A and B are shown apart, each in its own frame.
Chain A
Amino acid sequence: MKRKIIITVILSFFIILLVGYTISKNNHNVLTSGHQRDELVIYSSHPLDFLRPLIEEFESKTGILVTVVSGGTGQLIERIEEEQDNPYADILWGGSLSSLKSQSYLFEEYSSINEDAIQEEFKNNEGMLTKFSDVPSILMVNTDLIGNIQINGYKDLLNPKLKGKIAYCNPAVSSSAYEHLINILYAMGNGNPDEGWDYVKLLCDNLDGKLLKSSTEVYRGVENGEFVVGLIFEEAAAALVANGENIKIVYMEEGVLSTPDCVSIVKNSPHMESARTFIDFVTGYEAQTMVTTELNRRSVRADVKTPKYLKAKDEIKIIHADDELVYEKKKEWIQKFKEIFLDINEE
């Protein structure tokens, strides 16, 4: 009798548990879509606000689902380097030509359908480096804090009144900072980069030990008044100008280096077809127009006009660097800068 009762009790208990569990399980289902959709993984150093409308339209137009991994160009390239044998990324979007060229073995050769419409200087001559936008290096000035100081170019940065008030980040991690370094060497060296190092020393001195970690810190720093002037790429400042913020863009009178940034397919990408579609999309007329009208950048296409609020290129003193030399000397120059900076700060 006793045994029967115990068994009944335990059984009924279990039944109650089981019923409850089944009911709750039925109420819990993490489903996935019935039909598989194509996917694409993009590593990008672009700001999220910049990416949003482009990716949204891409997903809507093509039905391909996009996963975005954000990070600095340097970090992302490193990651692609590590994942070479089993690539996770399909696309690397962002990073200047100079910073990517030495590692172009990481990328797949592809010529987009829009190549014909691309401006001559921005054609995909390398084979795997499709250009996305044209990015001049500029000086970004906080008009509230500038006062009477004149800033028209690099030499004005040596003004003792600006000591410690200059936002510049490490060229080792930021491609825009590296672009500025090349810009400085060529502009202040009168076309001969070796002659530009004297200026670099003087500039480092005027940085007063402050070297920022990312380009984001540069434009944020100027925007919130921590710094008076920053060395940055055009779009960051242009967005703020377009917003009506107290920012002014200065195109260096010594010369402005305008280098394109790239969008590339990672070698052995898992979604090759989708990746190609993407390259075609971002170099398309609509995307490039959007980039200029809404996103404050200059298009690499010949048929897209410069946005009205950005100075036309022919009004700027554009200088060019020797691509080959730049490519050769990258490591050396970054190292040299590091040494100079550390030297100065030890004194």
Chain B
Amino acid sequence: MKKNKIRSFSDNIRQMFILYAIIPTFLIACLCMALILGIWQYTVHTTNHSANAKISNVLEKVVETYANEVSRLSKDATLITEPIDTDKLVEIKRSMYKLSSKTKYAAKLYILDSELNSVFSDYNQMPGFLIDNTCYDWGIIRKIRENPQSISLKITTGKEQVLCIGTGIQDQEEVAGYIVVTIPAKEFQLLLTQVSPQTIITDENGWVYLTNNYDFQDLLGRFVRKYEYSEGFIQYKAKEYYLLQNSICNGMLRVYTITSHDMESRMFYIMGVFILFIFTAIVIITYFISGKVAKKSTRDIYKIAEAFEQVKKGNLERYLDIKSSAEFKEIGEAYNLMLDGLKNNIKENKELTRYAAFAQVKQLEAQFNPHFLFNTLDNIRFMSKIDSEASDKMIVALSTLLRYSLSDAEEEIQVEEDIRYTESYLTILKIRFNRRFTYEIDIEEKVKKCLIPKLMMQSIIENAVKYGYAEEDTLHVAIKGFEKGGNLIFICKDSGAGIREDTLRQIRENLQSPVNKTNHHGIYNIHRRIQLMYHGDYGVTLESKLGEGTVVTLTLPIRMNLDL
């Protein structure tokens, strides 16, 4: 039972730790991590997205501006049909300069006739997008020929990447010429450095126009086909990236923005493992600590429980000394006070009882037979007229007896001393009854020094005399004293009238009750006195047969020293 109590207390403490401290903290930590992760992911997304948007916007605007210019110029068929005069030349050039400063990106303008010869005399070299002026079915020219009325975009992959924006110049339903604006990729290099994610700009087939990331290209310079349409968090070549793509200019160009978050991922992973590790350690440590803490607390409880056990057994000397915690200390001190209080109570009770007993005894003693006094005084008076010597003896004997009985020096007296005074009593009786009374006293040598209550003998004999004479003439009283079975036994046998059976029963019953219900005090008092003084299986027992006599047995403890 005790073991169960300790275990469940310890478990309780453990449980409380884990339930109310560790688990909530762990959950909160996890939540925080998840939140941080979420926020970080969101940040990565928004940064990348805005970078992509920025670059896409710039690119689109530039392309649109030049496309519009190209469109505008293409409407003028005279560029081809007539040689361009100086004014027009200047105007076109000025327009280009304006666009260049407006968009902040410079471009070159080419105007070609139907034979792919340049009519815009500024450039002597073959434009980079032309192989040869016999090749119509190639590159931007091919595209323009496929859709002469709309804007075509093409990236050339020569020595350097160039974006071509072109359209056809119509002259009465026929393609009379071509107008192409080229923007070299390096114009946009600075733009790419303005955003933190890396950027790859490609055409619709993934061929790279401009990039500052070199991981995501294949050997031929195309964006890796596997991730061409991917978005979001990807893993590529064992590294973590966040990738977004955007199609612009009617899908002819694509802008990819890549954020590498390898380091952050690794950090999160390590943090996660670290937190898990710490919490596992905490749980383990708590498990052991709570066991220890519980043991320490229950030690005090156990101490208290044991102290109470001792009190139950009657040991009132077990005091508690607990210093471990304020509450337990209070309990300990209160317990000690209680113990002291209890002990005081018991002592007082004992004293009271003893006092009561003592008082009762005193009272019993006070019931020393007054009848005897009257009778004896009567006898003395009678004797004094007849036999003055005898009456003298009686007076002496009576005074001795009275003196003896009134002195309350000791309540107990040695057997041989009490017998001596009993002799006085017997003397009185002998004188009174003369030949009608005989007695004999036989005390064992070894019990002569034992202690017995004062005037006990006398009481017994008195009783025998009082009731013994009923019909008989003579009375013989035999007193024996001996040790038997560890006790001191006195037997008073008289040859008197005996006691009737029902009376005997009555007397016996009366002896058992704590209060004398009858008017017969003698035997009862003796018995009560013995019980109060000695608390045990001691007292008076009666045997009697009507007409034969009575035997009164006194059972007393053997006491040699004066101690009560």
Chain A positions near chain B (C-beta within 8 angstroms): 2, 5, 9, 12-13, 16, 19-20, 23-24, 26-33, 48, 51-53, 55-57, 59-61, 65, 67-68, 70, 284-286, 289-290, 293-294
Selecting from B132-140, B285-293, B328-336, the interface stretch reads B132-140
The reply on B233 being an interface residue by CB < 8 A is yes
If the complex has contacts A31-B231, A60-B203, A285-B137, are A290 and B131 also in contact, measured as CB distance less than 8 A?
Answer: yes
Asked whether, in the complex, the Cβ of A48 is within 8 Å of the Cβ of B220, the reply is yes
The reply on B230 being an interface residue by CB < 8 A is yes
If the complex has contacts A27-B45, A65-B205, are A286 and B138 also in contact, measured as CB distance less than 8 A?
Answer: yes
A268 to B229, CA, bound (A): 31
Selecting from B31-39, B465-473, B495-503, B506-514, the interface stretch reads B31-39
> Which residues of the partner chain A approach B231 to less than 8 Å between Cβ atoms?
29, 31
From A13, A31, A57, A294, B27 is in contact (CB under 8 Å) with: A13
Number of residues on chain B facing chain A (CB within 8 A): 42
From B34, B41, B219, B221, A27 is in contact (CB under 8 Å) with: B41
* Shortest distance from the beta carbon of A166 to any chain B beta carbon, whole Å: 31
> Which residues of the partner chain A approach B230 to less than 8 Å between Cβ atoms?
29-31
Chain B positions near chain A (C-beta within 8 angstroms): 15, 19, 23, 27, 30-31, 34, 37-38, 41, 45, 131-132, 134-139, 142-143, 154, 156-158, 203, 205, 207, 219-221, 225-234, 242
* Shortest distance from the beta carbon of A332 to any chain B beta carbon, whole Å: 37
Asked whether, in the complex, the Cβ of B232 is within 8 Å of the Cβ of A53, the reply is no
Per DSSP, chain B at the interface is mixed
A243 to B257, CA, bound (A): 35
20 contacts between A and B (CB under 8 A): A5-B23, A9-B27, A16-B34, A19-B34, A20-B34, A24-B41, A27-B41, A28-B232, A28-B234, A29-B232, A31-B229, A31-B231, A48-B220, A55-B220, A57-B139, A59-B207, A60-B207, A61-B137, A61-B142, A294-B158
* Shortest distance from the beta carbon of A296 to any chain B beta carbon, whole Å: 13
> Which residues of the partner chain A approach B137 to less than 8 Å between Cβ atoms?
61, 284-286
From B23, B138, B225, A57 is in contact (CB under 8 Å) with: B138
> Which residues of the partner chain B approach A68 to less than 8 Å between Cβ atoms?
219-220
> Which residues of the partner chain B approach A19 to less than 8 Å between Cβ atoms?
34
From A33, A286, A290, B229 is in contact (CB under 8 Å) with: A33
A67 to B230, CA, bound (A): 19
If the complex has contacts A30-B226, A30-B227, A289-B131, are A20 and B38 also in contact, measured as CB distance less than 8 A?
Answer: yes
Asked whether, in the complex, the Cβ of B219 is within 8 Å of the Cβ of A48, the reply is yes
A59 to B229, CA, bound (A): 17
Complex A-B, nearest 9 residue pairs according to Cβ-Cβ distance, in ascending order: A31-B229, A286-B138, A27-B232, A28-B233, A286-B135, A28-B232, A30-B230, A59-B205, A290-B131
> Which residues of the partner chain A approach B158 to less than 8 Å between Cβ atoms?
53, 294
> Which residues of the partner chain B approach A33 to less than 8 Å between Cβ atoms?
228-229
Among A16, A29, A30, find the residue whose CB has the most chain B CB atoms closer than 10 A. Answer: A30
If the complex has contacts A28-B233, A48-B220, A57-B138, are A13 and B30 also in contact, measured as CB distance less than 8 A?
Answer: yes
* Shortest distance from the beta carbon of B154 to any chain A beta carbon, whole Å: 7
A57 to B143, CA, bound (A): 11
> Which residues of the partner chain A approach B220 to less than 8 Å between Cβ atoms?
48, 51-52, 55-56, 68
Chain B residue, CB-CB nearest to A32 = B229
Asked whether, in the complex, the Cβ of B134 is within 8 Å of the Cβ of A2, the reply is no
> Which residues of the partner chain A approach B234 to less than 8 Å between Cβ atoms?
28, 30
